[in-house]
Structure 1
Amino acid sequence: MNLFENTLKLNGFPIAEAKEKLAKIKQISNENFGNYIFKSRNEIVAYHLQNNPFYKKLIGNIDVSNWEKIPVMTKRHLQCPLEERLSNSFKKDAVYINKTSGSSGTPFIFAKDKFCHALTWAEIIDRFGALGINFNHSLQARFYGIPLDFKGFYKERIKDFFSHRYRFPVFDLSEEKMEIILKSFRRRKFDYINGYTSSIVFFAKFLRDKNIILNKICPTLKYCIVTSEMLFDDDKKLMEEVFGVPVINEYGASELDLIAFTNNENEFVVNSETLLVEILDENDMAVPLGNSGRIVITSLYNKAHPMIRYDIGDIGVLSSASTDKKPILEKLIGRTNDMAKLPSGKTIPGLTFYYVTKSIMSNDGNVKEFIIEQTELDTFKIQYVADKALSQQEKNAVQKSVFEYLEKDLKLIFERTTVLKRSKSGKLKQFVSLVEK
């Protein structure tokens, strides 16, 4: 029974038509794909200029025939009532509405027309399907947050049932909860793991300490798919070792679509079928392939709400091997608002600081997870969960590494805790600067 897709159809999302459209897009040749992107991006701009007063006001008198002159949209542009942003022919009760997670610090409500949202699911079904994962019968072990209010809680549980997934809420990562999760893997025939990177890494460290290889006790397990948070190479290696299956990275945004997904060749392939992904510099100009910049995305099919040259708030690099049809995301560096400004005036991605520190603190497996807060220009607080407190020698090693790779005379404050603060959705923000830029 095609339960998952029938549920989408019953809720008004034309999934069959969306899958047919996606199949036609995928058949476009490499040579003609650039023309497809050019035509699609111009058509969505023309549509919103004609049908969306909000977007027409944003554009003003700009000549849209020059793509790089089209203004980049930010989350702050979208922090006004949704009614003011909907296209003329769409009403709130006839579109898909949701809210961003707010992990960027700038949450907003967004809308998609129902065909656009169905295309999102068609894209996800296609990428997962390439791995042999079928949402109608492949059982998912889901490491996610869940609303704690009665209505929200049971709404998610119902969605889990129809999506063939068993959820492990990530707000409690105690030893007792890890044991319960482990028992579930012994009893249930999970096909794949899916969820927040930090929580799944935490579970992997628990298994490592127990000398357990997960697919030995759950032989049906085929993949681990992580999402919503940074995936570091050493964490990927650890998970693949203790789970005994490949780790797949998923990068997406609820207001857009699935943005990039690891394929069977271990390439982080960008969704070029329904999105146009650009890497721009501080002047909103495209950078050469292989260079880092702001990730700016256009939704090619959302007619209900303009998402055109939308700055998602992340920094990344497109590989020099990218083509129009197959862009490859070589690096996903972090968020633009997670930058650390140092006393020397140098500015670095905050995850650079996190990564340097991580390389030292994770050596012996004592530290389970940690976050870093920049509290002053020269001061960083490291909150960590560990079996035992870091020794002075270990703290000195972290400080030496920071001095060597970043800048001398930075102050580090270490604070051991039993649990790290997560967002309402269950995500862990690995670095945050509390210093005004």
Structure 2
Amino acid sequence: MDWFKLSLQLNKFPIKRAQNKLKEIQKIPEEEYAKYQQKRRNAILDYHIQHNEFYREFFNWDGFDNWEKVPIMKKSDLQQPLSERLSKTFNTRTAYIGKTSGSSGHPFIFAKNRFAHALSWAGFQDRYSWYDIDLNKSLQARFYGIPLDFFGNVQERLKDRISLRRRFNIFDLSEKKMEIFLERFKKSDFNYLNGYTSAILLFARFLKDKNIVLKDLCPSLKICIVTSERLFEKDKQLIEAAIGVPVINEYGASEVGLIAFEDLENHWIVNSEDLYIEILDKNDKILPYGEEGRVVITSMYNHAHPMIRYDIGDIGCLSTKSTLKKPILEKLIGRTNDIARLPDGKVVPGLTFYYVTKTIIEDNGNIKEFVIIQTKIDEFKIEYVSEKELSAEQKNKILEAVGTYVGKNLKIIFERRDLLKRSVSGKLKQFTSQIS
């Protein structure tokens, strides 16, 4: 029984038609791909100008002759009632309705027409097949959060059952809980893990401490897919060693679907079939391959809700080896709002702190997880989970590194915790600034 396909069909998502469309797009030769993308971009733009009053007003339509004149949509632009943003050809019963996680600080409800949603899933199926994973047959160990209200919880668990997913609730990642995780792997023929990077990394550290390679206990495992949070190279090596299978990087967002997926040659292949990806500078100018800028996405088949030149809030760079048909995401640097502002006016990426502290803490092996929070213009707090308190020597090393790589005269507060606070969805935000 093709359970995944059946679940989509029962919810009136035309997965077969979407799979056929995906194959049709993939057959378009490189030399004709620019024409295909231009046609789809113009078609989705025309559709929303004609059928979506919100977008017509947002665009301030007075004719169109240049794609670069199409305005950039930000998440804050979409924080108004969905009923005011839906195309007049759809309603909340005929469209798929979803909600973003809010990890960027700008959560909102969105809509997709059912074919567009099915096309997203066809893309996921296609990429997973690169690693011999079949969503209709392969059993997934799912490291995600789950709604805690009764109805949401039951609904999500039912979806998991139908979709061959077994949930590992990451709201409790204590050692006692991970012992239970381990027993589940011993008793089940899981084919792959899928989940938030931080949760899988913590489980991998638990395995390492126990001197266990997960694949030895669960030989059916093929790959581990991490998503939603940044994966560092050292962390990737640790996870691969502890789990015993390749770690694959996935980049997606609920409101647009699959954005990029790592191939067998370790290239992050961008989804160019139903999305159009641009990298823009701070003045909204399109940057050439090889330059870092804001990731802006157009969903070329979403007729229910405009996602046109949508600034997703990430900073990235496309490789100079990219082509229109096969763009390669060279790096994903982080979110545009993950920056620290210092007293001297200096602005630094929040991940600078993460790199500094991570290198020192890793040498110790005692720290399980940590996050960094900017509480004041000159004050930062490092919250960490560990078996024992950081020593004065270790704290001094971190202070020296911060002074060298970030800035002088900054106050660093260390706070040891039993658990770190995660978002409602279960994500662990590595750096947060509490100042405006």
Q: TM-score, normalised by structure 2?
A: 0.98
State the distance in 2 between where 1:335 and 1:292 align: 12
The answer to whether the 8 A contact 1:205-1:365 is kept is no
State the distance in 2 between where 1:80 and 1:292 align: 31
What residue in structure 2 maps to residue 410 of structure 1? Answer: 410
C-alpha displacement of 1:343: 2.0
Q: Structure 1 segments of 4 or more deviating over 6 A?
A: none
Trace 1:216-365 onto structure 2 (pairs within 5 A).
Answer: 216-365=216-365
The answer to whether the 8 A contact 1:353-1:406 is kept is yes
Q: Deviations over 1:135-193 (max 9, x none)?
A: 11111111110111111111111111111111110011111101011111111111100
State the distance in 2 between where 1:43 and 1:10 align: 29
State the distance in 2 between where 1:309 and 1:348 align: 26
What SS does the corresponding residue of 1:414 show, helix, strand or coil?
strand
Q: Mean alpha-carbon deviation: is it higher for 348-357 or for 103-112?
A: 348-357
State the distance in 1 between where 2:375 and 2:63 align: 44
Q: What code does the residue aligned with 1:44 have?
A: I
The answer to whether the 8 A contact 2:7-2:163 is kept is no
Trace 1:148-159 onto structure 2 (pairs within 5 A).
Answer: 148-159=148-159
Q: Mean alpha-carbon deviation: is it higher for 368-377 or for 396-405?
A: 396-405
State the distance in 2 between where 1:417 and 1:46 align: 53
Q: Percent identity?
A: 59
Trace 1:130-141 onto structure 2 (pairs within 5 A).
Answer: 130-141=130-141
Q: Deviations over 1:246-284 (max 9, x none)?
A: 000111110101001111111111100010111111111
Q: Give the 3 Å change call, closer, same or farther, for CA 209–31 of structure 1 in structure 2.
A: same
What residue in structure 2 maps to residue 38 of structure 1? Answer: 38
What residue in structure 2 maps to residue 109 of structure 1? Answer: 109
C-alpha displacement of 1:288: 2.1
The answer to whether the 8 A contact 2:383-2:417 is kept is yes
What SS does the corresponding residue of 2:131 show, helix, strand or coil?
coil
State the distance in 2 between where 1:64 and 1:317 align: 28
Residue ranges of structure 2 left out of the alignment (5+ in a row): none
C-alpha displacement of 1:363: 1.5
What residue in structure 1 maps to residue 393 of structure 2? Answer: 393
State the distance in 2 between where 1:61 and 1:304 align: 19
Q: Mean alpha-carbon deviation: is it higher for 344-353 or for 185-194?
A: 344-353
Q: What code does the residue aligned with 1:115 have?
A: F
C-alpha displacement of 1:364: 2.3
Q: Deviations over 1:32-54 (max 9, x none)?
A: 11221111111111111111111
State the distance in 1 between where 2:148 and 2:13 align: 27
Q: Is 1:60 equivalent to 2:60 in the alignment?
A: yes
What residue in structure 2 maps to residue 379 of structure 1? Answer: 379
State the distance in 2 between where 1:402 and 1:292 align: 25
C-alpha displacement of 1:62: 4.8
State the distance in 2 between where 1:166 and 1:52 align: 39
State the distance in 2 between where 1:197 and 1:62 align: 45
Across the two proteins, how many residue pairs are aligned to each other? 436
